[in-house]
Amino acid sequence: MSKKTFRESINEAIKQEMRRDENVIVLGEDVAGGAGTKGDQDAWGGPMAVTKGLAPEFGRERVIDTPITESAIIGTAAGAALTGLRPIADLMFVDFMGVCFDQIFNQAGKFRYMFGGKAVTPLTIRTMYGGGLRAASQHSQCLYPIFTHIPGLKVVIPSNPYDAKGLFVQAVRDDDPVVFFEHKMMYDDEGEVPDELYTIPFGEANFTREGKDVALISMGRTVNLCNQVADEVKKDNISCSVLDLRTLSPLDEDSILEAVDETGRVIIVDESSPRCNVATDISALISDKAFSSLKAPIKMITPPHTPVPFSPALEDLYLPSADNIKKTISNILN
């Protein structure tokens, strides 16, 4: 066990899986960087340096710099997965799903069902999501609800370095197509991460805080916001549980219902756009299955229904905040 960043945790998971299984390959735009140049042949390791060091160790046959060609990247990975490799495709920003979504949801996500259960598509798509980097409307979205909507895909969204490694290893070994969401503001977050390989099963949410007054349910980066708020409101004698969903598909319904049962008050914090997102989905689930356990209306904290703004002044207003969560806690308790 040693302290590692979110970035290092994923990098280590990829390297260790590539050492363990020669069918694991990585492909995407500048996953090494420098292809065809006279300069550094490991120039980038992706824009956030997550895949740095892979090309020198595994060679360009297994760490493939592609052109900027998202449909071909994802489709190539899907076809390779269908025929015996275990590819990790890098969809740099999830916002770029717009130029390759067919290959994800009509092809990779449906092979198994359409082909009557005969296909196995062990594909992992890594992608960055989320606001905070002042990256504006086309590089800051969450979009995970759209993937969660598709039967046949699995959606993973870790909140910390420990989970990132365990969930990533599971994603690579999983025989279904997995979309792995990495919040672009979390790469420098640190945590204790074992050096050895381990997996965290999908569909098992994690209570990061125990509490009896209010349940905060969240995913990815906003879990940390919830943890922070839960710790802060303790001094006011308010006890919050925090449930980290870890995976959106499969979804751990039992833990959600347990959180409702223990508190009767639920706040769902979701950084994705508010219509048809994870918060509305969980809210519907609770209304359907645990209505009688509720002591207050379900509250959803999300951004407004706008594109992600560029200006720091506006983006800070746009994103869910600790203040907003605190205010909502005090509203539903009174």
Report if residue 176 touches other proteins, rule: CB under 8 A.
yes
Confirm whether 139 is a catalytic residue.
yes
**Binding residues among 122-161 for other proteins as defined by CB under 8 A:** 151-152, 154
**Binding residues among 181-220 for other proteins as defined by CB under 8 A:** 203
Report if residue 311 touches other proteins, rule: CB under 8 A.
no
Across-strand partners of 269? 218, 301
How far apart are CB 247 and other proteins at their closest, in Å? Answer: 11
Report if residue 117 touches other proteins, rule: CB under 8 A.
yes
β-strand 206-209 against 240-244: which pairing, if any? antiparallel
Report if residue 273 touches other proteins, rule: CB under 8 A.
no
How many Cβ atoms are within 10 Å of 71's Cβ, its own excluded?
Answer: 15
User: Which pair of structure tokens corresponds to residue 283?
Assistant: 């809210």
User: Which pair of structure tokens corresponds to residue 26?
Assistant: 């990585």
How far apart are CB 57 and other proteins at their closest, in Å? Answer: 16
Residue closer to other proteins (CB basis): 194 or 203:
203
| Cα(73)–Cα(29) distance, integer angstroms | 8
How far apart are CB 322 and other proteins at their closest, in Å? Answer: 35
Task: Show Cβ contacts of residue 250 under 8 Å, excluding neighbours closer than 6 positions.
Answer: 154, 202, 203
Report if residue 106 touches other proteins, rule: CB under 8 A.
yes
Report if residue 37 touches other proteins, rule: CB under 8 A.
no
Ranges of H-type helices in the chain: 6-20, 54-58, 70-82, 101, 111-114, 144-148, 161-173, 221-233, 253-263, 278-289, 312-318, 322-333
Binding residues for other proteins (CB under 8 A): 25, 61-62, 64, 66-67, 69, 71-72, 74-85, 87, 99, 102-103, 106-107, 110-120, 151-152, 154, 174-176, 203, 250
Please give the positions annotated as active site: 139
